[in-house]
Amino acid sequence: MENRFFEVGRIGKARGLKGLVKVIPAGPAEESALAEGHLLYIRNERGDYVPLRIESVHTEVKKQRTLFFVKFDRIANREEAEALMDHGLFTDQKPAQTEQPEESSLVGYSVVSDKLKIGVVHDLLGSFMQQVLVVELLASEATRSAETLLIPLVDEYVKMIDHQTESIVCINLDQLEEE
């Protein structure tokens, strides 16, 4: 049987005493599901989908990221909010597709560090919460003791992704090398 639910994000930490929770969207397309009045679902211990209606949404922008703080109708206090931490949030409507290429399309992109091409993205590991680039190093860079390098897809290591030139500019890669 085909699942008619689509994951749009995860519930994060509780905020305040009145049941407000941080919601981490699965991606830019899923942010549209986080609107006042929308009906989302969580899975209980038995695997059943339990509906939650969004009463209010508060957003904050920190470090170029939008944070979503959501109040659901069935969460009345901090204890109930903490009990739902790390639960997936689902919708019964397929999320709209964005114009931006999927992260899996990064396979084949050149990886550049200090203005030099060091390798090519061979694979992408992880989930929407944390993705890791598997970079196949060029022969000149492979003398570091490994032929591949794992680079977390986070701002600390990935400065810029250029979809037109199919390149990824990386920084701080010396922190990832084994000693």
- 103 or 107: which leads in pLDDT: 107
pLDDT at 179 over 80: no
Domain presence at residue 75: yes
- Tell me how long the chain is: 179
Q: What's the number of domains the chain is made of?
A: 2
pLDDT at 33 over 80: yes
Tokens 């009345």 belong to residue: 76
The CATH code of the domain that includes 172 is 2.30.30.240
116, 140: one domain: yes
Tokens 């006042």 belong to residue: 36
Helix (H, G, I), strand (E, B) or coil at 167: strand
For the chain, where are the E strands, in sequence order?
6-15, 20-25, 39-43, 49-62, 65-72, 88-91, 110-113, 116-126, 131-137, 148-152, 158-162, 167-170
The residue segments making up the domain with residue 35 are 6-91
47, 25: one domain: yes
What would the two tokens of residue 84 be? 């739902």
Give the pLDDT band (50/70/90) at residue 141: low
pTM of the shown model: 0.51
Of the candidates 80, 74, 97, which has an alpha carbon nearest to the alpha carbon of residue 14? 80
Q: What is the pLDDT of residues 151-168, one digit of tens each?
A: 988 888 899 988 889 999
Q: What is the pLDDT of residues 114-126, one digit of tens each?
A: 889 999 998 888 7
Domain presence at residue 127: yes
62, 14: one domain: yes
Domain presence at residue 111: yes
Domain presence at residue 153: yes
The last residue of one of the domains, among 71, 91, 111, is 91
pLDDT at 88 over 80: yes
CB neighbours (10 Å) of residue 60? 10
pLDDT at 1: 42
